[in-house]
């Protein structure tokens, strides 16, 4: 099993191009099941989760191929299988996103309960309720969600009890082929939702309201294929910018619309970083300074993203002052704190809040990743620690970061991947 060896003490300095967004690519790939045409998707990152989704689409009968330039071709004309098997779904939470498209196109679907990161309960109740509101009947049989709508889905009005990204994605995809108009309220507003809607619209869907709390979907009889380029990964970009700030360095990220970063760059400014933005780039420069402690509370977009919480925990571990990092989206998503304490971080957990007293430096130690973003935070901790840090179970990081060690090496980090 691979590990990352990080030898800290080097300021990051340089430029990176943003990868395509994993969190946008996965629902868009699932949405290709809605059409019998061919979809050419550009800027798809080379990640473990992407490979799992491609395998899942293939198991459902789609013909998939991948080009060296990051393009993915999906032909769903023969995608007639409606059962998403446990062996694939158990490894990735986003597998649940094929439920809505399969049900909308075929009138039935069977999807195993999903797996993914061990960061607490992420129930699919809201997915089920939205689909049931469109006329589906859904039962649980042998660990599978079995959904049926033999007469097709029907437009409805539905309000989510709480904001859910995955639930919004499943519902909007299903409603695209429903009969009549569907109005979804209290929906997620994340940029990745906007990207999914734009992709669906490029296939002929009639959807308005993306980026707001209400989506209106006027169902159409059929969706066509087409070509679409996935948005850049704002979480990957944020991770490298935080790594720059934590090490006192400077990093410019290109091919990214800075507006999608929102509160991430606001918090970096609060930490003392100089932040510059252009039409398609953003740069953070700490000019050798130690960051200032910054409080974080995760919230649905446009609030602070839960997927950046762990990275700011690492920054605060070496910041000047005390910070409180509060996780409101998922339980059990402060697990990186326990590993950082092995490196000398002063972190006390109070319920869903980590109280962090910044230290001048950390010490290298063997640590173990518990989920995708926690693994990235441990890399950042290793970059600012003295000595050597060995990070095990990095298959988590391969689910969401493309060639992280190569990118960090290009910025001056001493990091390498080792086997065994």
Helix 99-106 to helix 165-175 angle (10° resolution) is: 10
Active site residue 117: yes
Helix, coil or strand: residue 185: strand
Burial of 214 (0-12, 13-18, 19+ CB in 10 A): middle
Catalytic residue among 18, 117, 124, 261: 117
Residues contacting 97, CB < 8 A, separation 6+: 26, 27, 30, 166, 169, 170, 173
Give the angle subtended at the CA of 309 by the CAs of 195 and 408, to the nearest 5°.
80
Residues contacting 292, CB < 8 A, separation 6+: 270, 271, 272, 319, 320, 321
The two three-digit tokens of residue 155, written as one number: 């437009």
Q: Print burial letters for 380-413: b (CB count within 10 Å at least 16), e (below 16).
A: bbbbbbeeebbbbbbebbbbbbbebbebbeebeb
Residue 274 CA to residue 339 CA, distance in Å, equals 30
Residue 307 CA to residue 312 CA, distance in Å, equals 10
The two three-digit tokens of residue 189, written as one number: 């507003």
Strand pairing of 108-112 and 72-75? unpaired
Helix, coil or strand: residue 44: coil
Burial of 143 (0-12, 13-18, 19+ CB in 10 A): exposed
Helix, coil or strand: residue 376: helix
Instruction: With CA atoms as reference, report the closest residue to 101 among 32, 187, 158.
Output: 32
Helix, coil or strand: residue 292: strand
Residue 322 CA to residue 233 CA, distance in Å, equals 30
H or E element that contains 322: strand 322-326
Catalytic positions are: 117
């Amino acid at each position: 099993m691979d590990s990352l060896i990080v030898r800290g003490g080097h300021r990051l300095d340089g430029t990176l191009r943003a990868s395509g967004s994993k969190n946008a690519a996965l629902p868009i790939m699932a949405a290709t099941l809605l059409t019998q045409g061919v979809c050419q998707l550009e800027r798809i990152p080379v990640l473990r989760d992407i490979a799992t989704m491609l395998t899942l689409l293939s198991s459902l009968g789609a013909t998939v191929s991948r080009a060296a330039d990051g393009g993915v071709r999906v032909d769903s004309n023969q995608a007639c299988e409606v059962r998403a098997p446990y062996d694939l779904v158990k490894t990735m939470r986003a597998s649940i996103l094929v439920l809505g498209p399969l049900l909308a196109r075929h009138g039935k679907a069977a999807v195993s309960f999903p797996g993914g990161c061990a960061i607490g309960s992420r129930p699919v109740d809201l997915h089920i309720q939205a689909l049931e509101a469109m006329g589906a009947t859904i039962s649980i049989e042998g660990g599978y969600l079995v959904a049926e709508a033999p007469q097709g889905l029907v437009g409805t009005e539905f309000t989510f009890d709480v904001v859910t990204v995955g639930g919004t994605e499943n519902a909007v995809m299903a409603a695209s082929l429903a009969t009549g108009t569907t109005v979804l309220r209290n929906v997620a507003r994340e940029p990745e939702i906007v990207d999914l809607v734009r992709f669906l619209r490029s296939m002929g869907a009639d959807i308005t309201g993306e980026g707001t709390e209400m989506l209106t979907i006027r169902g159409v009889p059929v969706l066509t294929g087409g070509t679409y380029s996935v948005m850049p990964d704002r979480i990957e970009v944020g991770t490298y910018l935080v790594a720059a700030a934590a090490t006192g360095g400077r990093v410019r990220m290109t091919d990214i619309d800075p507006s999608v970063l929102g509160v991430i760059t606001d918090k970096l400014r609060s930490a003392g970083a100089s932040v510059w933005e252009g039409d398609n780039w953003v740069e953070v420069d700490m000019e050798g300074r130690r960051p200032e402690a910054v409080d974080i509370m995760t919230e649905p977009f446009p609030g602070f993203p839960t997927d950046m919480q762990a990275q700011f925990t690492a920054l605060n571990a070496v910041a000047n002052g005390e910070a409180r990092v509060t996780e409101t989206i998922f339980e059990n998503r402060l697990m990186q704190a326990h590993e950082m304490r092995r490196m000398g971080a002063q972190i006390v957990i109070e319920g869903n809040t980590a109280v962090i007293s910044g230290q001048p430096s950390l010490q290298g130690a063997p640590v173990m990743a518990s989920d995708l973003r926690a693994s990235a935070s441990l890399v950042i901790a290793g970059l600012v620690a003295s000595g050597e840090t060995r990070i095990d179970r990095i298959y988590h990081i391969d689910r969401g970061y493309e060639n992280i060690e190569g990118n960090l090496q290009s910025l001056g980090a001493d990091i390498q991947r080792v086997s065994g």
